[in-house]
A = this chain, B = another copy of it.
């Protein structure tokens, strides 16, 4: 039996939808990579009875319980007090921690909150886990062989404690007996994927298969318990990759811009990007990767027709005859972008993100994507319409996929 975890987020701000809970997601992801399976997420209020109730409900055989939130200096932060009492301990004062906290606030040039004294009290029945990113430390309780980890709810403080005190220890404790692969696809729907690959797995019943669709594509995860001499996982993976071909952009769970970055760096190529309907999203995603200045040189966001003409030399006659959202315009945009930037490759996009601006012949959701290299300039048309923000996301992902295929010198099916 593998090790399991439950994750508890404590905070009225999550239940009131003022804060999106990303901590539980992050922790589950880290645990999965070292072979610990999350069996439940709980989010509850900053109230003593809610905290006790959820602790009572934790399964008896769950190995690791992670609790985030409610450790700060404000008066609704009661997690430490309640959990300590629940496990039969009490809070004791630590002068050295108070001094440390005072130093922390001094260094950060912040005023020292008057409630900070609470921050120097820690349970006598738990280990204290250092936090160099804030004044609330982590705690580790052990009860009936179950491990309870308490951490602040601020994501970068929680991550600091996980990465420095908890994950290295868990990694040692775990012997991984389960192997899995995540395969990232884009440009194909979940329904089409099911039709194309599901039959493979009828022959390999021990291989678990799951689909994780998002607006950017579908991730496929296949996994299997490790049994000596059984190659079902590798065999089914190879068959799957054979069938899916270029729909697969990575054999990991990663963003398509990371793949584009690798190819550009490897081949010493530079790019530039001209965006209309995506409004900067494509360049933003490219520049999320550190070191992107090596290959990404410049971009323009040509929202108005005047801007398309000024920066990219799109002809007035083209805009008048075919309109801003047309094959002719995007081809001139791509070519103009490459020429003005003197990059090896240019990407251009123009479309209608909505909700306004559509017509009968050019509906909301219509997009033209253009690529220009030294050898050729071409364009692809896409139609996709949900709501504005989703449309922008889908358009950007499609453009990045067309760019990826161009860099790999593979003909695209758009």
* Residues of A near any B CB (own CB < 8 A): 9, 12-22, 24-26, 28-29, 32, 37-45, 50, 54, 57, 74, 76, 110-111, 113, 154, 156, 182, 189, 191-192, 194-195, 210-214, 219, 221, 253, 273, 275, 278-284, 286-288, 290-293, 296-304, 306-307, 310-311, 340-341, 353-357, 386-390, 392
Contacts and interface: CB of A to CB of B under 8 A. Distances in A.
Contacts of A214: 19
Contacts of A13: 210-212
- State how many copies of this chain the complex holds: 2
Nearest to A43: B41
B28 A16 contact: yes
A284 B284 contact: yes
Interface of A is mostly: mixed
A306 B388 CA distance: 34
A213 B211 CA distance: 34
Contacts of A283: 279-280, 301
Given A21-B25, A283-B280, A392-B288, A299 B297 contact: no
Given A284-B284, A298-B300, A15 B38 contact: yes
A253 to B, nearest CB: 7
B39 A44 contact: yes
A7 to B, nearest CB: 9
B32 A16 contact: yes
Contact of A284 (B76, B281, B302): B281
Nearest to A18: B212
A366 to B, nearest CB: 16
Contacts of A38: 15-17
B253 A18 contact: yes
Contact of A290 (B29, B50, B156, B354): B354
Contacts of A310: 298, 340
